[in-house]
C-alpha cells in the first residue's frame, strides 16, 4: 500500500494584542465598510517587538509538542517558513531548536519565498517522508511572520502576525496529502518585496492581486491536469474544482479568497466541455457564483478575519479555521489548497481530511488562544508600531510563550517557555 504522508496535527501562536478593524477605519477617516466588507477583516493582530518571528515560531512549536504529545526524538527535520526572519545567516529554525531544547540529531533550515515559504517547507518535509529517506521520522514545519506595511498606508488594514506549527508524518490525522499531484507556477515579478534592512514591505497593491490570480491559474491548471490523469477528478456534471469539498486559499485579506475562488472557477469554465459554447461574459458570471463560494470557501476564513495577514502562515490559518469549523463532517473528503508568495510562486495541492481530524484540532484549543488576547486602542497600536524593533518591552511572557528579551552584540536572547 502507498505510504500516507501529510499533516498530523497543528498548533497556533498569535500576538497578545489586537485592534478592532472598524475602529482603525474610523481613526483613518475611512468608511468602516471598506475594511469589513471590502477587505473582509474584523480584527488585526498587533505584534510588539518582543513577539518577533522567532518568539512566535517557538511558541507555536512548543504548543504543538506539548498539546499533541510529540516525542521530540522522532523529529528528523525542523523547517521554518518565514519572510520576516531576524538574521541574514542564522535561521529562525536554529533558535527554535535551541529554545525548545530539541535533539541535535535533526536537519534545521528556513525556507524563504515571501508567503510561499511555509508551503515550500511543507513540501520539502512531506516529500522527504514520502521518499523513505526519513526512515519513519517526522518533521515540524513552522510558518511564522509579521506582516507590516506601516501606519497610514493602503496595506495597513491587512497587517497581522502569528505562527502555525505543523507536524508532518506518516500518520496524517488532519490531512493526507496527494503527493505527486501538485501544480506550481513561477513568474518573475515585483508585486511585493522588502529590500534588506527595511522593516516595512513595499507593495504594488492592485498589481499584486493580478499576479496572485495569474499564478493561481497556472498552479491550478497543473494540479488539474494531474488530478484528471489520476482520475481524482473528472469532467462531468460538475467542474473539477467543484469535486473538492472545500478549497483553501492564501489569505492576505479575506476578500482575496473570494477573488481567488472566482478565478479558479473561471479556469474550469474556460476548459469545460459543457461550457465551450458559452460567451466570456456568461463564464465570468458563472465563475462569481456566491453559492459555490459559500459552500466551498467561506467556512475557512474565521481565524484569518481575526488576525490579518500572516504571510507564510495565512493559508495554514485558513486550514486551522476550516478544521475548527468542520473537521468531523469533512473526514474522508478531499480538499484543495492554494499557496501564493509574491515575487512570485504559487502552488495548488490537495489532500484528504483524516478520520481523527476533529480530535486533533480540539487539542489545539484555537478559540482559547484567540480569547486570551487583549483588545487595544488605535493609539496603543500606533505606540507599539513606533517601538524600535531592537528594544522590546520587558513584559512577562504568558506560561508556554516565548518573548525576545534583548539584543546584545547582535545576539538575540529570549525568555519564556
Ligand atoms: P485600496 O486601494 O486602499 O483599496 O487597497 P481598494 O480601493 O482596492 O478597495 C478595497 C475593496 O474595498 C474593493 O473591493 C472596494 O470596492 C471595496 P473589490 O472591488 O476589490 O472587491 N470598498 C468598499 N466596500 C464597501 N464599502 C465601502 C468601500 N470602499 C471600498 N465604502 C489593497 C487594497 C489590497 C491593494 C491594499 O490593502 C494593499 O496594498 N494590501 C497589501 C497587498 C496585498 O494584500 N496583496 C494581495 C495579493 S499579493 C499576496 O497575497 C502576497 C502577500 O501576502 C505578500 C507575500 O507573498 O509575502 C501580500
- Residues 137-170 have pLDDT tens digits of 999 999 999 999 999 999 999 999 999 999 999 9
pLDDT of 1 over the 60 cut = no
289-327 b/e (C-beta count within 10 Å ≥ 16 → b):
beebbeebbbbbbbbbbbbbbbbbbbbbbbbbbbbbbbb
Apex CA 295: angle with CA 322 and CA 284, to 5°? 120
What are the residues whose beta carbons fall under 8 Å from the beta carbon of 124, sequence distance 6 or more? 77, 79, 111
Distance CA 394, CA 387 (A): 12
Centroid of ligand 1 to alpha carbon of 14 (angstroms):
23
256 lines ligand 1 (CB under 6 A): yes
Please give the positions annotated as active site: 83, 115, 250
**Per-residue pLDDT tens digits for 56-87:** 999 999 999 999 999 999 999 999 999 999 99
pLDDT band of 275, cuts 50, 70, 90: confident
> What's the per-residue H, E or C state across 197-261?
CCCCCEECHHHHHHHHHHHHHHHHHHHHHHHHHCCCCCCCCCCHHHHCCEEEECCCCHHHHHHHH
Q: What is the pLDDT of residue 2?
A: 73
Centroid of ligand 1 to alpha carbon of 39 (angstroms):
6
**Per-residue pLDDT tens digits for 75-123:** 999 999 999 999 999 999 999 999 999 999 999 999 999 999 999 999 9
Q: What is the pLDDT of residue 276?
A: 86
- Minimal CA–CA distance to 78: which of 167, 177, 172, 179? 167
Q: What is the pLDDT of residue 173?
A: 98
pLDDT of 410 over the 80 cut = yes
Return the CA Rg of the chain: 20
Determine the atom of ligand 1 nearest the C-alpha atom of 309.
53
163 contacts 364 by C-beta, under 8 angstroms: no
**Per-residue pLDDT tens digits for 336-364:** 999 999 999 999 999 999 999 999 999 99
257 lines ligand 1 (CB under 6 A): no
Amino acid at each position: 500500500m502507498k505510504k500516507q504522508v501529510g499533516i498530523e496535527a497543528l498548533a497556533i501562536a498569535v500576538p497578545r494584542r489586537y485592534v478592532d478593524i472598524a475602529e482603525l477605519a474610523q481613526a483613518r477617516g475611512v468608511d468602516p465598510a471598506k475594511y469589513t466588507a471590502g477587505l473582509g477583516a474584523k480584527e488585526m493582530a498587533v505584534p510588539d517587538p518582543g513577539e518577533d518571528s522567532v518568539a512566535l515560531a517557538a511558541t507555536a512549536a512548543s504548543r504543538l509538542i506539548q498539546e499533541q504529545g510529540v516525542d521530540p526524538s522522532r523529529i528528523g527535520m525542523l523547517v521554518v517558513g518565514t519572510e520576516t526572519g531576524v538574521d541574514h545567516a542564522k535561521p529562525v529554525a536554529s533558535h527554535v531548536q535551541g529554545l525548545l531544547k530539541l535533539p541535535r540529531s535533526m536537519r534545521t533550515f528556513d525556507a524563504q519565498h515571501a508567503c510561499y515559504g511555509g508551503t515550500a517547507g511543507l513540501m520539502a518535509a512531506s516529500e522527504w517522508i514520502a521518499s523513505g529517506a526519513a526512515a519513519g521520522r517526522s518533521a515540524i514545519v513552522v510558518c511564522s511572520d509579521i506582516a507590516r506595511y506601516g501606519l497610514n498606508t493602503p496595506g495597513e488594514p491587512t497587517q497581522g502576525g502569528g505562527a502555525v506549527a505543523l507536524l508532518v508524518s506518516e500518520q496524517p490525522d488532519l490531512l493526507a496529502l496527494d503527493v505527486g499531484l501538485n501544480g506550481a507556477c513561477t513568474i518573475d515579478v515585483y508585486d511585493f518585496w522588502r529590500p534588506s534592512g527595511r522593516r516595512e514591505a513595499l507593495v504594488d497593491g492592485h498589481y499584486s492581486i493580478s499576479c496572485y490570480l495569474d499564478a493561481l491559474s497556472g498552479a491550478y491548471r497543473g494540479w488539474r491536469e494531474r488530478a484528471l490523469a489520476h482520475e481524482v477528478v473528472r469532467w462531468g456534471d460538475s467542474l473539477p474544482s467543484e469535486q473538492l469539498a472545500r478549497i483553501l486559499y492564501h489569505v492576505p485579506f479575506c476578500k482575496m479568497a473570494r477573488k481567488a475562488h472566482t478565478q479558479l472557477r473561471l479556469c474550469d469554465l474556460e476548459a469545460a466541455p459543457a461550457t465551450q459554447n458559452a460567451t466570456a461574459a456568461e463564464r465570468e458570471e458563472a465563475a462569481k457564483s456566491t453559492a459555490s463560494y459559500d459552500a466551498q470557501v467561506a467556512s475557512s476564513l474565521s481565524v484569518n478575519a481575526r488576525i490579518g495577514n500572516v504571510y507564510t502562515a495565512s493559508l495554514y490559518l485558513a486550514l486551522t479555521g476550516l478544521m475548527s469549523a468542520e473537521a468531523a463532517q469533512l473526514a474522508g473528503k478531499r480538499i484543495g489548497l492554494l499557496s501564493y508568495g509574491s515575487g512570485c510562486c504559487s502552488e495548488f495541492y490537495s489532500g484528504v481530511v483524516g478520520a481523527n481530524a476533529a480530535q486533533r484540532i480540539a487539542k489545539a484549543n484555537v478559540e482559547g488562544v484567540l480569547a486570551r488576547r487583549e483588545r487595544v486602542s488605535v493609539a496603543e497600536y500606533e505606540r507599539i508600531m513606533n517601538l524600535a524593533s531592537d528594544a522590546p518591552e520587558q513584559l512577562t511572557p504568558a506560561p508556554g510563550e516565548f518573548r525576545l528579551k534583548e539584543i546584545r552584540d547582535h545576539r538575540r536572547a529570549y525568555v519564556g517557555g
